[in-house]
């Protein structure tokens, strides 16, 4: 279970780092290039940390380099789930703030 949490939180870190890089340098990038670079950031994180979820789960692979690579692709894919989850929360927050402003406008004020 800890390894799933590590992959999920690395996915969040990947999402935010990739978002930061795209804001700085990503003007005019296509969606496919952004996807490729996000997966690359995930692979870079797991390679730097030398982390393999397969090693943690006790799964043996043919070569040791495959563990961090596939874990990095999983982390990069998880970053898209974070993108959608945080977008859902942001949309809910916007909706509730806008409704509160509208309710306040309709409420008569005492002078």
Judge whether residue 60 has pLDDT over 80. yes
Angle between helices 66-106 and 2-25 (to 10 degrees): 70
Is 82 inside any structural domain? yes
Positive/negative CA dihedral, 66, 71, 74, 80? negative
State the Cα–Cα distance between residues 17 and 70, nearest whole angstrom.
19
**Alpha carbons 103 and 109: distance in angstroms, whole number:** 12
With 0-12 CB in 10 A as exposed, 13-18 as middle and 19+ as buried, what is 68?
Answer: buried
Mean pLDDT (the chain, rounded)? 87
pLDDT band at 111 (very low <50, low <70, confident <90, very high): low
Is residue 111 included in any domain, yes or no? no
Residue 94 domain flag: yes
Domain that holds residue 40: 2-106
pTM strictly above 0.75: yes
Structure confidence at residue 25 (pLDDT): 86
* Confidence grade of residue 57 (pLDDT, cut at 50, 70, 90): confident
Structural domain contains residue 15: yes
Domains of the chain: total: 1
Provide the token pair at 4. Answer: 């799933």
| Sequential DSSP letters for 8-66 | HHHHHHHHHHHHHHHHHH-TT--HHHHHHHHHHHHHHHHHHHT--HHHHHT---SSTTH
């Amino acid at each position: 279970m800890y390894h799933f949490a590590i992959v999920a939180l690395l996915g969040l870190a990947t999402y935010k780092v990739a978002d930061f890089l795209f804001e700085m340098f990503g003007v005019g990038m296509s969606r496919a290039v952004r996807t490729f670079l996000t997966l690359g950031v995930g692979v870079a994180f797991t390679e730097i940390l030398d982390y393999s979820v397969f090693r943690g789960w006790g799964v043996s692979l043919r070569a040791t380099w495959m563990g961090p690579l596939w874990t990095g692709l999983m982390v990069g894919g998880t970053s898209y789930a974070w993108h959608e989850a945080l977008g859902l929360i942001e949309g809910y927050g916007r909706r509730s703030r806008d409704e509160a402003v509208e309710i306040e406008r309709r409420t008569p004020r005492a002078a």
